[in-house]
Amino acid sequence: MADVSGKNVLIGVTGGIAAYKVAELARALVRSGASVKVVMTASAQEFVAPLTFRTITGNPVATSLFGDPGSPFPHISLSEEADLIVVAPATANIIAKYARGVADDLLSTTLLAARGTVVIAPAMNTRMWLHPATTANMDLLRERGAVIVDPGEGELACGDEGVGRMAEPGRILEILEREIRRTSDLVGKRIMITAGPTREHIDPVRFISNPSTGTMGFTVADRAARRGADVLLVAGPNGLPCPAGVKMVSVVSAEEMKKRVLDNLDGIDAVIMAAAVADFRPVQTAATKIKKSMGVPEIKLEPTRDILKEISATGRKLLMVGFAAETDNVIENAKRKLAEKGLDLVVANKVASPETGFAVTTNLAALIGPGDEEVELSMFTKADLSDRLLDRVSGLLE
């Protein structure tokens, strides 16, 4: 296990036969130095008594929103103090509640109040696991950043054979080890992240831009802050809320973004350029709206200044990560960008299909560093890609 001493882990236990295995999980975490608390649903208590977890963890077991007069808001206090929440076994019912925002008991309410990472270990009959409703709910949770420990295949409690068995405690512990490490591996690091498009104005009401929504950069910023980093987000026009714990600076044009980035480099350990910065801008911007009656205007363009090259020119020693949004020859073009701009890492991102790239929840992407030869594109949720990227960044900053 990773060093979990002093870490607070909250285990949510729901009503499945695999609940008895969670006692082993709780014991392993306690032995590793974690402070473990347990929330049990009413159905979970039909399989395992709360006293079992009270004995293992040394902490009272929470079973009701109204069970502790000394804690009128247990769902808030439990979620705030938890470095990590794991739901095991996670029934189809709690998965549906969490995905759809239902909060009708202590566990579902605590999950909605959670700020940190939530790990889900599903357990159910194969037909329930494969039902389109469950599939849709799982997709929603993945998109929102929940970590899923996929169920195994074998004999189920009902006697059927198939997928649906809760992953073994050892496998769940492996995932928890990784996620616990991710709660603090960027503590003390200052990371600047750019996000969103830029707008290069033709006149006061028209501009050149691109379809970027900023979701990728905002997700990277959110995940970096959760891992303890001091995050500055330089964002082009977008409609997204600033992630918790992140300082955001808003810009419009590529020139504004370049200036804000260069002005804030002091003390920065890494720059992650996830923004879709315009490559060209009008040579002149009309002071007033160009009237249609004036005919089709001729707009002369000039290249914008390359922000990554401007950073390199400062001579500062910091880690630089770029994004390469490509429609073809994705890996080759990304490797060229890596070399030409002297990057430590580049995210090759295919944007030619409806399922990946701009304004969607998934990316067909690959992480490429110097010396990486055998690289293939894989489909990621933006949350998963962000974590994979930050894993590489964390390793390079050590």
Confirm whether 158 is a catalytic residue: yes
Q: Which positions ≥6 away from 23 have C-beta within 8 Å? A: 48, 52, 53, 56
Distance CA 308, CA 322 (A): 8
Looking at residue 159, its pLDDT comes to 72
Query: Which pLDDT value is given to residue 72?
Result: 64
Q: What is the CATH number of domain 190-397?
A: 3.40.50.10300
Q: Looking at 158, 301, 339, 352, which residue is catalytic?
A: 158
Q: Does domain 8-182 have CATH number 3.40.50.1950?
A: yes
pLDDT at 1: 45
Where do the domains of the chain lie? 8-182, 190-397
Q: For residue 128, which phi and psi values (nearest 5 degrees)?
A: -70, -40
Give how far Cα 219 sits from Cα of 119, 197, 231, 361, 372, Å.
18, 15, 12, 11, 25
Burial-class residue 158 by CB neighbours within 10 Å (0-12, 13-18, 19+): exposed
Do 190-397 and 8-182 have the same topology in CATH? yes
Instruction: Specify the pTM.
Output: 0.87
237, 197 Cβ separation under 8 angstroms: yes
Query: Between the CA of residue 371 and those of 12, 312, 320, 344, 347, what are the distances in Å?
Result: 43, 20, 16, 10, 14
Q: Consecutive sets of 10 residues in the chain, 398 residues long: mean pLDDT of each?
A: 76 95 96 94 96 96 79 80 95 97 95 92 94 96 93 79 89 92 93 97 95 95 95 96 95 97 97 96 95 91 95 93 94 94 95 82 94 91 95 94
CB 95 within 8 A of CB 137: yes
Written as six digits, the tokens of 179 are: 């996620």
Q: What is the chain's length?
A: 398
Measured CA to CA, the distance from residue 39 to residue 17 in angstroms comes to 16
Residue 352 confidence (pLDDT): 78
| Helix or strand run (H / E) with residue 143 | helix 132-143
- Dig out the tokens for 362 from the structure: 């998934």
Q: How far apart are CA 157 and CA 19, in angstroms?
A: 12
Instruction: Provide the b/e sequence for 316-325 (b: ≥16 CB within 10 Å).
Output: eebbbbbbbb
